[in-house]
Amino acid sequence: MIRFECDYAEGAHPLIMQRLIDTNEDQTPGYGVDSYCEKAREYIKERCEHDDIDVHFLVGGTQTNLTVISSMLRPYQGVIAADSGHISGHETGAIEATGHKVLTIPSTDGKISAKQITKVCIDHREDVSREHFVQPAMVYISFPTETGTIYSKEELNAIREACEEHGLSLFLDGARLGYGLTSPQNDVTLKDITDYCDVFYIGGTKVGALFGEAVVIKNKYLKNDFRYSIKQKGGLLAKGRLLGIQFGTLFEENLYFDISKHAVDLALKIRKAFEDKGYEFMYDSTTNQQFPIIPDEQLEVLAKSYSFTFWCKVGENKSVVRFCTSWATKKENVEKLIQDIKAL
């Protein structure tokens, strides 16, 4: 069975595994204040083209989202997010468990707009009973989104302007950031994201690391005492060097981007094979996640050799499924899938 159902099931890139082995007996200070973490921070600052950012390393995406969001909001404030956003539907109420409401709005292909954000803020401000309701104070977006789509530079700039106009902070979930930045449709750089966002994170778990996310904080106010929040939420890893070694390996040269592009290139080959066969897609994704609409009887044929994720039904006899590539996806497995798609 060849798996195309997720982008993090494999372990870690061989270079990372080797460096973890080579440094296994090193004795360093704990909790992320070691030389490996400091070096990784410097690499990330260089890539972001900002010397004034703080970089913190956490273990996983949900932990990162709840730690960042809870540290940014007052008790009566909430976060605006797409109804398809990860914090809304896939984190077991983690944000609500910190006492903050997720204020969901309808999304188009997983994205929300500056116009929608503005409307939420104006509607709240003009409500004479507004103090009876959760105050919107933050915007959460993903890049790429849960449906594999990406924001353009123009869209991100418009969202940034809306946030500034209405006093909102902007947080970007970059669990799959590498796959978005290496999309052929992308016109956004890591520097652009740093310019536009108050906080974002660079995903390692889904992009070559064994585990880990790198939180980048630009907003001066939000930098204050963030390590206290990390510790309180169980994210201050005692053996912090394990995170520093991984992100140092990913960003010392171009590994993070090279392996991300590998996944995207293979995903687009799969997309083309389905398109050539006449299949339509649920979303216009140019990243590592693809969502073809396939007759159920043909899905049964593919399911004999491949593992993929059911997404939703379309009518009585068709389904949307997700095929997902990763940094570790093998070209020969994709070629085999393409041949089997042609034979359907």
List per-residue pLDDT tens for the chain, 344 residues long.
Answer: 899 989 888 999 999 999 999 999 999 999 999 999 999 999 999 999 999 999 999 999 999 999 999 999 999 999 999 999 999 988 899 999 999 999 999 999 999 999 999 999 999 999 999 999 999 999 999 999 999 999 999 999 999 999 999 999 999 999 999 999 999 999 999 999 999 999 999 999 999 999 999 999 999 988 989 999 999 999 999 999 999 999 999 999 999 999 999 999 999 999 999 999 999 999 999 999 999 999 999 999 999 999 999 999 998 899 999 999 999 999 999 999 999 999 99
pLDDT at 94 (0 to 100): 95
The closest alpha carbon to 252, from 68, 7, 19, 29, belongs to: 19
Task: Outline where DSSP puts E strands in 158-301.
Answer: 169-173, 199-203, 213-217, 289-290, 293-295
C-alpha atoms less than 13 angstroms from C-alpha of 319 in its C-beta half-sphere:
15
Residues sharing a CB contact under 8 Å with residue 176, sequence separation 6 or more, in sequence order: 7, 142, 143, 144, 203, 206, 207, 287, 288, 289
CA dist., res. 280 & res. 275, Å (int): 7
- Angle at which helices 255-276 and 331-342 cross, to 10°: 10
Which pLDDT tens digit goes with each residue over 168-222? 999 999 999 999 999 999 999 999 999 999 999 999 999 999 999 999 999 998 8
- The pTM (predicted TM-score) of the whole model is 0.96
- pLDDT of 140 reads 98
Domains with residue ranges and CATH for the chain = 2-7+258-342 (3.90.1150.10), 14-255 (3.40.640.10)
End-to-end CA separation in angstroms for the chain = 18
What was the pLDDT predicted at 89? Answer: 84
**What is the structure's pLDDT at 197?**
98
H or E stretch at 182: none
CB 289, CB 267: distance < 8 Å: yes
Give the distance, in angstroms, between the CA of residue 275 and the centroid of all CA atoms in the same chain: 26
**What is the pLDDT, as a whole number, of residue 7?**
87
Question: Is there a contact between 121 and 136 (Cβ–Cβ < 8 Å)?
Answer: yes
Q: Report whether 109 contacts 284 (CB < 8 A).
A: yes
pLDDT on residue 259: 98
List, for residues 91-100, the tens digit of each pLDDT value. 899 999 999 9
User: What length is written for the chain?
Assistant: 344
CA gyration radius for the chain? 21
